[in-house]
Structure 1
Amino acid sequence: MLQKFISKPVLSTVISIIIVILGLLGLFTLPISQYPDIAPPTVEVTASYQGANADVVRNSVLIPLEEQINGVENMQYMTSTAGNDGSATITIYFDLGTDPDLAAMNVQNRVNKANSLLPEEVIRAGVSTSKKQTSLVYIFSLHSTKDTYDQNFLQNYVNLNILPKLKRVNGIGDAFIYGARDYSMRIWLKPDVMASYGLVPNDVIAKLRQQNIEAAPGKFGVNGDQAFQYTIKYKGRLQTASEFGNIIVRADKDGHILRLDDIAKVELGALSYGSSTTTQGYPSTSIAVSQTAGSNAYELINECQRIIEESSKDFPSGIEYSPFLNANEFLNASIEKVEHTLIEAFILVFIVVFIFLQDFRSTLIPAISVPVAIVGTFFFLKVFGFTINLLTLFALVLAIGIVVDDAIVVVEAVHAKLDEGAKSARKATLSAMSEISSAIVSITLVMAAVFVPVSFIGGSAGVFYKQFGLTLAIAIVISAVNALTLSPALCAIFLKPHSEDHHKKKTGIQRFYAGFNIAFNAITAKYVKGVQFLLKRKWLALGSIAAFSVLSWFLIKNTPTGFVPAEDSRAIFGNVILPPSASLERTEALTDQIDSIIRTVPEVESSTRMAGQDLISGAGGSYGAFFIRLKDWEERAGEGQDIESVVNNLFNKTSGIKGANIIFFAAPTLQGFGNTNGFEFNLQDRTANDMDQFSGVVQNYLGAINQRPEILYATTSFNNNFPQFELEVDIAKCEMAGITPDQVLAVMQGYYGGIYASDFNRFNKQYRVMVQSDPVFSAKPEDLHAVMVKTVQGEMVPITQFVTLKKVYGSEFIRRFNLYTSANVTGVPAPGYSSGDAVKAIQEVADENLPKQFGYEFAGLSREEVSSGS
């Protein structure tokens, strides 16, 4: 069989050409990613209970949903958050390889079972289920170049003109805006005027739902003898603030009409006023994009960029967009470096082979065979469903030094036959291949046996090893095919019988060869003497092997472990936590101060600050966040300009700011494991103890873990010291007045919590109508005296006769992990320590400090690291 390839080189050439063509097809169609997709598929369930606090949301929304969702097929773990803003979020993580569409469908079926247990207000607002990853692949800001446009305008401009396009991109898990500044028709009630007319919020809500309606009045002329039919149209929902202001609340028999704008201020405002955003000091809005599990992030980001670039042509004057996080930038830069390394490796191999073979024709054979093996590998990467990523490219770089050996073996064997006196290259090749073909097959099987078994490793780490190992194995197998087909054919064509005067030429290159051979032979002679020395002293050789084995074992045990190294992606996150119940205005002032400091750092290109947002937990007036984009890597090539140094510099520059906990951290290396780049775990209260007791346990643990040298910092957003007021209803007094606690609480919700009363259409979108007290009447607890409730006799009585306020302390958010109340802890290992060292410290401190009824579980990338044994 081998004789055919040698005698018919066209056959060998065709086989190689086919391999190259298939490889090129794979190369140009393979998806590109930074690393193999190891992020677990996730499904998110969100709901909103307007006006409810975190405790109510947990008890009435989270717990019923969690109990139904828990145990859904292939579920790994589940996290949930209830906020004082009425928000409820549940995120379910599934085993790697789970079909995200099937996972979302299974979760939705479980949610449907729980709907009957949820409050009516929650059902009305909607419970949504979506499949998306927890980390973000693209973030950008739309900002005013001056103070021309406010945040309301910017956010709704994005909502109308950009967000719908982004959400249609294939692979988008979600595209959302930080801060709910959607348009909303705000009905700001005036409690004193309402009381003078004997009205309560539910009276207004009833009129809204009666008069702001869509209707289907029908047609004239149906089933009749008329020649024409006419459709009857009703104006439908109201659209403008003036139209809503004209809603008739009461019409007396004497002709007096009470309209909505008589008892309330009506305006087109925002759905929420709990956050604000600036970029480079000017009003802005920040948009984030997440992907679905298994989608191609590279193509997704490119398509998002194309949409934004096209949309920017229509931006009003004075509006610009600024990218913050673009995962493709680091990916492109990394792949470019690997491509350079690949080319450099090939050139170095070519030079080394040329020096040792000392014949251009001989060197040409491996120089042709190696690219065939490397390019052909891409076809099989496509077949196996792999991607072009840093691991597969690194495997190909390593493969160059391995696959070249097969071609060199063939060339050397043919040269040996020519040295023995073979009269033609063809005969020398036939003779050589008959001797070494079995050896080539054996070498290939041995090399494949080294790398193929890693494909059976499970978990996230197994995906890494699988793509790396199989890529190498494929390249080695293709190289063996070349060694049995292409290389012999090229030897028969290119090589020539050795002549008598072959080595007697006195050219410069031959003199270099002679000098090199003398030096190499001298080194070889010393090596042989060393081997002979050890052969006579076998105990020394065995002792050296034993010593090196012990040393290797010691180094393995003491070398810091980690899942993946941290990378410089040009993106830094900042998080700020002010004292409990700090106002949004106070947070804005402090974050503006921090923002001005950030922009003085030379390596920073731009910064976006958000007040009222927390990148780790959620939203709240005492929270702030930053998106910090660094300059291009080429502009930060100097010492101390890498991302870790910039993060340390930011810590130093902001360390003098008092009254807030400020942290900075680099964007995560791996997508799909949250927004943090360090470690993440959850302390759990497994017996539903008092929250104050749990808070004490958490603070005690944080105090201990932050004393460990492996930890730079560990922090949590859990804080049970937010001042709150507990409302107590005197049921006996309610009964005597002929009213129910429901009526009292409905008045409280209508004035202080806000009620989603109706909808309206404008700008081709649907928005909410919100009813709430004018902020002037709800600024402080004493304003409650102006609120009236209607008795059964129709009298208006101060609500303070039926309720009392008690000052208490609680949490802004309640987090749960696998059905237990938890405190999410994030942090970063100290310089010189790895994530593996940090994980070990976390476990040791937990064993020493956590009481029996409390526990902990890792989350995100830390969970994958622990499960993989890294």
Structure 2
Amino acid sequence: AMVLAIGLVVDDAIVVVENIHRHMEEDGLSPMQAAFNGMREISSAVIAMTITLAAVFAPLAFTGGLTGALFREFAVTLAGSVVLSGVVALTVTPMMSARILRAGSHSRFQRIVDSTFGRVENVYERLVSGSLKYRPVTLMIVIALVATTGFMFTKTASELAPEEDQGFLLSIVNAPRYATSDYTETYVNQILGLVNNIPETRARFSAVAFQGPTNNAFVGFAFKDWADRTRSSKELQEDITGRLSKVAGVEAFVFAPPTLPGSGGGLPITMVVRSTGEASQVYEAAEDIKNKAQASGRFLAVQNSMSYDAPQVTVTIDRDRAAALNLPIADIGRTLTLLVGGAEVAQFDRESNSYDIIPQVPQNFRDNPEKLAEYFVRSASGEMVPLSAVVKISTNASPAVIEQFNQLNSATISALPLPTVTTGDGLKTIEDIARESLPDTFFIDYTGQSRQEKEQGYTIIIAFAAAVLVIYLVLAAQFESFRDPLIIMMSVPLSIFGAIVPLNLGLG
């Protein structure tokens, strides 16, 4: 804001000094009289410029959320600088012009500058005269530029914030559902070994079961200072991704950490699929979106948070047979809970420390679901009855957890876009696939970085519209007309064209 203010605060002073100098040159007035005459002519224009520039930043100053946190200081700094520059232009600048400016012969440098600006002025005058002679052509050019601006605006890639080279990358490692911490750690060590010879790497670190499940791991890569390496983090990301693709026992995704704080962890694109239907229906719909998104060729990885790969053992009790053997159902449940439930039953103290007592059968009696049938339960008559006589054991796959979002069954689609695809374009691709695939009873929502990107994108549009409205009302009050401000406001869509073109050329 301070850097931008340097260019803005001198505008008013330039207008004031130029007008005073014009009166000295053309009318032959003294610096003092030229200052009086010049300020009578342009003081209202300077006030209008100052109020308009200060008012345009007012909507940003009152914006909430992440946008407000980022731009509030920016808006207040610029508005304050512009207001003070207007005060200086109306007071200090004419006083200094009256005391310092001198009429007389020009130096050689001044003559060169004046002649250069004179030629530019003549070219500009001819262009304006030509545009006024062919007004329909000029109007068609304006309409074409405005239409092109609208079209290019809808096609411009978007993201929450540009990805920055922060000097380190992150990787999420997913092992099969059944994987133990030892299994996951083995492949994490293999990953660390594959990147060991990258010269830009300064440090590597990892954590297994960092979110609880033993089949998940977290790996970080810290790089040397920017001056000590020739490759950017984007190039290193491609290199590490290619090396990690050789690891067959796990899935590993490499991505840069979020540029903005508070935008959530994990993969940068996260969309929630939720429905009033069963969890299995949500899983099937999310899996369909995941497969189509992966086939689109715009993502390095796409994940579905719900998966039916967690082994589940179902014990079905034959109640009639249990009753015939005088075996209470509750005793069967208590026996299984005690032997394999892993529940705390008591505590004991030793050397001022308290320890939980968790009974469990040995490993060889619980490494296979069929072993459950070999357990014995004491009947009401005191006899030991094998569970195989009264239960049927079956295994099937089930989700590790049934997610809910806003009280509806849900699944989260997470994606890592290609380096050439922005998060906004990647999210739109998944949205389009979801809208084509999902029935009417399904809804989409967002979480993490994607939720902020959606919310803050709307906030920026609202702030821009509010700024345009505020400027129009301020100009209408100054000119006492609702028509005259439209002439000035026509510069807004044409200036946006100058901002959109570099973005579409990949220069922004």
- The interval holding the TM-score normalised by the smaller chain is 0.7 to 0.9
1:630 correspondence with 2:220: no
Match of 2:424 among 836, 839, 855: 836
Equivalent residue for 2:170? 573
Distance 2:410 2:424 in 1: 23
Aligned to 1:863: 451
3-state SS of 1:772 partner: coil
Q: What are the superposed Cα offsets for residues 251-272 of structure 1, whole Å, 9 maximum, x if unpaired?
A: xxxxxxxxxxxxxxxxxxxxxx
Check the 8 A contact 1:666/1:676 in 2, yes or no.
Answer: no
Q: 2:302 — aligned with what?
A: 714
Which amino acid in structure 2 is aligned with residue 769 of structure 1?
D
Per the alignment, residue 414 of structure 2 pairs with: 826
Task: Give the structure-2-normalised TM-score.
Answer: 0.78
More strand, by proportion: 1
Q: CA–CA distance in 1 between the matches of 2:192 and 2:363?
A: 29
Compute the displacement of 1:556 (Å).
1.3
Bigger CA drift: 416-425 or 573-582? 416-425
Residue of structure 1 aligned with 2:272, choices 656, 670, 682: 682
The equivalent residue for 2:119 is 522
Distance 1:525 1:703 in 2: 63
Post-superposition offset of 1:802: 4.7
Higher helix share: 2
Instruction: Give the distance between the partners of 1:570 and 1:726, measured in 2 at CA.
Output: 49
Q: Distance in 1 between matches of 2:262 and 2:50?
A: 37
Give distance in 1, aligned partners of 2:123 and 2:354.
85
Conservation of the 8 A alpha-carbon contact between 1:720 and 1:809: yes
Q: Tell me the distance in 1 between the aligned counterparts of 2:208 and 2:249.
A: 15
1:542 corresponds to 2:139: yes
2:353 is equivalent to residue 771 of structure 1: no
Partner of 1:594: 191
User: Is the partner of 1:624 in helix, strand or coil?
Assistant: strand
Give the SS at the match of 1:619: coil
Instruction: List per-residue Cα deviations over 1:789-819 (Å, max 9, x = no partner).
Output: 4444555554555544211111223322122
Question: More deviation in 463-472 or 803-812?
Answer: 463-472
Q: % of aligned pairs identical?
A: 27
Paired with 1:697 and 1:651, the residues of 2 have a C-alpha distance of 29
**CA drift at 1:651:** 1.6
1:67 maps to none
**Post-superposition offset of 1:747:** 3.2
Query: Contact conserved, 1:724 with 1:808, CA < 8 A, in 2?
Result: yes
Residues 654 and 775 of structure 1: CA distance in aligned 2, closer, same or farther (over 3 Å): same
- The alpha carbon displacement at 1:667 in A equals 1.0
- After superposition, where does 1:113-512 map in structure 2 within 5 Å? 395-416=1-22, 418-419=24-25, 420=27, 423=30, 429-454=35-60, 460-461=66-67, 468-491=74-97, 495-496=99-100, 498=102, 500=104, 503=106, 510-512=107-109
User: Aligned-pair RMSD on alpha carbons?
Assistant: 3.3
User: Is 1:851 matched up with 2:439?
Assistant: yes
Number of aligned residues: 456
Distance 1:675 1:768 in 2: 35
CA distance in 2, matches of 1:656, 1:802: 49
Opposite residue 678 of structure 1, the aligned amino acid is: P
Residues 813 and 604 of structure 1, relative CA distance in 2, 3 Å threshold: farther
Residue in structure 1 matching 2:236, options 634, 646, 655: 646
Question: Partner letter of residue 633 of structure 1?
Answer: W
Unaligned segments of structure 2, at least 5 residues: 462-508
The superposition leaves residues 275-326 of structure 1 with CA deviations (integer Å, 9 ceiling, x where unpaired) of xxxxxxxxxxxxxxxxxxxxxxxxxxxxxxxxxxxxxxxxxxxxxxxxxxxx
Cα deviation code 1:58-103 (max 9, x no counterpart): xxxxxxxxxxxxxxxxxxxxxxxxxxxxxxxxxxxxxxxxxxxxxx
The answer as to 2:297 corresponding to 1:704 is no
Distance 1:454 1:763 in 2: 62
**Following TM superposition, by how much is the alpha carbon of 1:720 offset from its aligned partner in structure 2, in angstroms?**
0.2
Contact kept, 8 Å, 1:720 with 1:812, in 2: the verdict is yes
Does the residue aligned with 2:278 lie in a helix, a strand or coil?
A: coil
Cα pair 2:328 2:380 within 8 Å, conserved = no
Structure 1 unaligned residues grouped into runs of 5+: 1-394, 504-509
More displaced 10-residue stretch of structure 1: 481-490 or 601-610: 481-490
| Aligned counterparts of 2:54 and 2:349: Cα–Cα separation in 1 | 64
| Alignment check: 8 A CA contact 2:163 2:258 kept | yes
Deviation at 1:703, TM superposition (A): 1.3
User: Structure 1's 531 and 760: CA in aligned 2 closer, same or farther, altered over 3 A?
Assistant: farther
Shift of 1:650: 1.6
Residue aligned with 1:813, SS? coil
Aligned equivalents of 2:151, 2:263: Cα separation in 1: 32
SS of residue in 1 equivalent to 2:414: strand
C-alpha change, 1:572 and 1:454, in structure 2 (3 Å) is: same
Asked if the contact 1:754–1:770 (Cα under 8 Å) also holds between the matched residues in 2, the reply is no
Q: Which residue of 1 aligns with 2:334?
A: 746
- The answer on whether the counterparts of 1:566 and 1:677 sit within 8 Å (CA) in structure 2 is no
Contact 2:276 2:442 in 1 (8 A): yes
2:152 counterpart residue number:
555
SS state at 1:620 partner: coil
How far did 1:523 drift? Answer: 2.6
How far is the alpha carbon of 1:730 from its aligned partner?
4.0
The CA deviation at 1:681 is 0.8
Residues 411 and 491 in structure 1, CA contact (< 8 A), matched pair in contact too: yes
SS in 1 for 2:183: helix
Q: Give the letter for the 1:670 counterpart.
A: L
Deviations 1:605-624, CA, capped at 9 Å, x for gaps: 222223334xxxx4323333
Instruction: Give the letter for the 1:515 counterpart.
Output: I
Other structure's SS at 2:215 match: strand
C-alpha distance in structure 2 between counterparts of 1:591 and 1:856, whole Å: 34
